[in-house]
Amino acid sequence: MARVAGNTYSIAELRASMGDDKASLPQRRKAAKKLHELGLISDDQFDKFRARSAIDSLVGGADRDNCPPEIYEETQDAFAESRRLNPHFGGRTTGMIGRRGTLATIKLMIGRKHTSSDFESLRKHGRLISSFEAIALRHPQYFSDSELAQARKRLEEAGFDVRTITAPASPRQR
């Protein structure tokens, strides 16, 4: 049993609350903080949760309803990982996602002539697997042939072996 904000919860309730998308963001954050304080989740798990919840609060829940769930979840994971590498990652991009939506922003970014600073940051850290271009190649059903060709070209020009891109693991395997 653990106390959070004057209430007593079982560890199972805290874990469920942390992962419950229907729970309010402050409730989920409190549950994650308490689990971390108790040593029941690692520093890495706590950091990943904090990064994802920060991005979710910037982008908002409306996009979740209008975006294919696999694209939304993978983008959230990619942002969380990238934010750990670079705290300034995705500043402009999250604003675009908030205005346009995740899928439309990915398509727009892939269609640009030049790479974004976020793409360059991922390249610098050897994490192009988390780029919008790689996400598009993992989910070709949502992108046009020209968008996929541009994504493939950009990754190859950056020295990334696109043959290493495979379909994403199911959420339970991550």
**CB-facing half-sphere around the CA of 80: CA atoms within 13 A:** 19
Q: What span, in angstroms and rounded, lies between the C-alpha atoms of 29 and 33?
A: 6
In this structure, the chain runs to a length of 174
67-120 residue pLDDT tens: 888 888 888 888 777 777 777 766 677 778 778 888 988 999 999 999 988 898
Q: Return the closest-CA partner of residue 119 out of 87, 155, 143, 164.
A: 155
Are 58 and 84 contained in the same domain?
Answer: yes
Per the structure, how many domains does the chain have?
2
The residues, any chain, with a CB within 8 Å of residue 95's CB and separated by 6 or more, are 58
0.75 cut: is pTM over it?
Answer: no
Residues 117, 147: one domain? yes
Q: Which two tokens stand for residue 169?
A: 């693991």
Domain membership of residue 1 as a residue range: 1-41
User: Tell me, what's the pLDDT at 102?
Assistant: 86
